[in-house]
Amino acid sequence: MIERMTSQKEIILKYLKSTTSHPSAEDIYLEVRKELPRISLGTVYRILATFKNKKKIIEIAHEVSRYDANTDPHSHFICESCDNIYDIEIPNFKKNINKRGHNKASCLKKIFGDFIKVGKINNYQIYFYGKCKKCSKK
Amino acid sequence: MIERMTSQKEIILKYLKSTTSHPSAEDIYLEVRKELPRISLGTVYRILATFKNKKKIIEIAHEVSRYDANTDPHSHFICESCDNIYDIEIPNFKKNINKRGHNKASCLKKIFGDFIKVGKINNYQIYFYGKCKKCSKK
DNA sequence: TTATTATCAATAATGATTACTAATTAGATT
DNA sequence: AATCTAATTAGTAATCATTATTGATAATAA
């Protein structure tokens, strides 16, 4: 099966790369409809699934799934008040995560202990739940 | 609204406390039906929602929701091969998480940087995805 | 015991996501 | 450039987890 480039894929990825708002499939559908008025929601879901398989995007499974084209290692802060999701940089996290046996004196070891014993980690997601600054000011 | 203790609540919580298997609502329904043959799935969902509000249990929002009566700070390892979820102890994690300004020399500070600037964290969930030891041996 | 009201079982409704199918189209071949 | 063909799509139906509804039941108060 040779993959074909289509305007649907192109425009969805372009939109995801242009935003940090972590839109849902529905949000993406409503947005790209401005350029592709005949696109269907099923197409959006299918294209998002293929992007996820190819690791072009990340799925955030909090209530309805939301999507993020930022594939650099980072985490998310979910405001329980406004439901916005904010990107969080956690430098050096994944890089060190499988280094059991190495860096014994390292900070990671001290904090996380020997939790890697359950298996081999391919990936991780950290979700922080709280109230964002904007909502705290209200 | 004064809460009433019922056998449905009692048996669901007893079951959740007895297991580390992170069952879904459906799993719980099938299990507690052995003791309560007439219980309905809607009742299970409603009771789980009240337990979650009261922080008696944790909801793990990975694909279908799964539930955990272990409310000590801990994280989860999800085996992408067998779909089992394993508990992970990460000592001292939450305890230190909001201490921005304190422990400046601490390990947490070094690793996580100043990500707390987006807001006040009430809670967090870490999901590790990978392949568990059992599946690696197959 | 009777009244009140939280809770329940049963079932219908909802809403996100997936599956299906006939029509379309990207890219290869002529 | 025209044709071919298999990947992709639009439109729609189906699925499945979860929530809402409703009349019946049962726990607690009066």
pLDDT digits (tens, 9 = 90+) for B103-135: 333 444 444 544 567 887 777 788 888 889 999
Instruction: Report the percentage of chain A scoring pLDDT > 70.
Output: 80
Greater model confidence, A119 or A108: A119
Mean pLDDT over A73-87 rounds to 89
**pLDDT band, residue B45 (cuts 50/70/90):** very high
In 10 A of CB A66, how many CB atoms?
22
Residue-wise pLDDT tens digits, A46-74: 999 999 999 999 999 888 999 999 988 78
Are A122 and B104 within 8 A, CB to CB? no
Average pLDDT across chain A, whole number: 83
At residue B65, the pLDDT reads 96
Q: Would an 8 Å CB–CB cutoff place A62 in contact with chain B? A: yes
pLDDT above 70 (res A94)? no
Residues 6+ apart with CB under 8 A from B89: A113, A115, B74
DSSP category for residue A24: B
CA of A40 to C1' of C13 (A): 24
Within A2-137, residue ranges assigned H as helices are 7-18, 25-32, 41-53, 93-97, 107-112, 133-137
Residue A38: phi and psi, rounded to 5, are -100, 5
Q: In angstroms, what CA-CA distances link A46 with A11, A34, A41, A61, B127?
A: 14, 19, 9, 16, 25
Q: Mean pLDDT check: name the lowest of A21-30, A71-80, A116-125, B22-31.
A: A116-125
At residue A114, the pLDDT reads 45
Average pLDDT across chain B, whole number: 82
Residues of A within 8 A of B88 (CB-CB) are: 115, 118
At residue A92, the pLDDT reads 54
Give me the half-sphere count of Cα atoms (radius 13 Å) on the Cβ side of residue B137: 5
Task: Show the domains of chain B with their CATH numbers.
Answer: 7-68 (1.10.10.10), 75-137 (3.30.1490.190)
DSSP character string of B58-121: EEE-SSS-EEE---SS-EEEEETTT--EEEE--TTHHHHHT-TTSSTTSHHHHHHTTGGGGEEE
Q: Closest nucleotide (CA of A4 to C1')? A: C26
CA of B52 to C1' of D25 (A): 25
Greater model confidence, B93 or B119: B119
Q: Would an 8 Å CB–CB cutoff place A13 in contact with chain B? A: no
pLDDT above 70 (res B70)? yes
Separation CA A124–CA A107 (nearest Å): 18
pLDDT above 70 (res B97)? no
Q: In angstroms, what CA-CA distances link A15 with A7, A8, A20, A61, A93?
A: 12, 11, 10, 20, 28
Residue-wise pLDDT tens digits, A12-42: 999 999 999 999 999 999 999 999 999 999 9
In angstroms, how far apart are the furthest CA atoms of chain B? 58
DSSP β-ladder status, A85-88 and A119-132: unpaired
